């Protein structure tokens, strides 16, 4: 990925993330800030958002890059957990792997569907 393409991607994500701003004190499931990490050589290492200022709960689309600027992996985090299809690439941009996350336990799926989950006590 050339420098102009990387800059354009960052700019688009930055503009899109502006709509996630939380102006109140209430908790939200929207990312609090877009985070861009760089390698020592200045190349982008990671682009993603977190739900908390401590950057412990990843949320939203994440993109990781090789030091040469090629995309290394991309996928979605939901409340700190990988979800859906994650794609990995080698340092030349060739696909390496595809993995699906998020099947989850019965309890996780039930809660996601809004069902009440109670432990069976015997």
What total number of domains does the chain contain?
1
**Which tokens in the block code for residue 12?**
């688009």
Q: For 65-88, b where at least 16 C-beta lie within 10 A, e where not — what string?
A: bbeebebbbbbbbbeeebbeebee
pLDDT in tens, 47-90: 999 999 889 999 999 999 999 999 999 999 999 989 999 999 99
Answer whether residue 107 is part of any domain. yes
- φ, ψ of residue 9 to 5 degrees: the values are -65, -45
90-104: per-residue pLDDT in tens?
999 999 999 988 866
- Check residue 67 and give its pLDDT: 96
Residue 12 belongs to what domain range? 3-20+31-112
Q: For 7-24, write each residue's pLDDT tens digit.
A: 545 544 444 443 344 333
Domain assignment of residue 60, yes or no: yes
| Whether pTM exceeds 0.75 | no
Decide if 122 is inside a domain.
no
Q: Residue 84 domain-assigned? A: yes
Cα distance from N-terminal residue to C-terminal residue, the chain: 58
């Amino acid at each position: 990925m050339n420098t102009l393409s990387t800059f354009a991607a960052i700019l688009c994500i930055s503009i899109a993330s502006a709509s996630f701003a939380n102006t109140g004190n209430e908790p939200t499931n929207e990312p609090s800030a877009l985070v861009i990490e760089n390698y020592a050589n200045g190349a982008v290492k990671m682009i993603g958002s977190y739900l908390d200022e401590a950057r412990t709960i990843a949320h939203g689309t994440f993109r990781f890059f090789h030091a040469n600027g090629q995309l290394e992996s991309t996928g979605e985090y939901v409340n700190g957990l990988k979800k859906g299809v994650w794609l990995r690439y080698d340092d030349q941009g060739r696909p390496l792997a595809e993995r699906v996350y998020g099947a989850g336990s019965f309890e996780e799926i039930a809660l996601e569907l809004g069902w009440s989950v109670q432990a069976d006590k015997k």
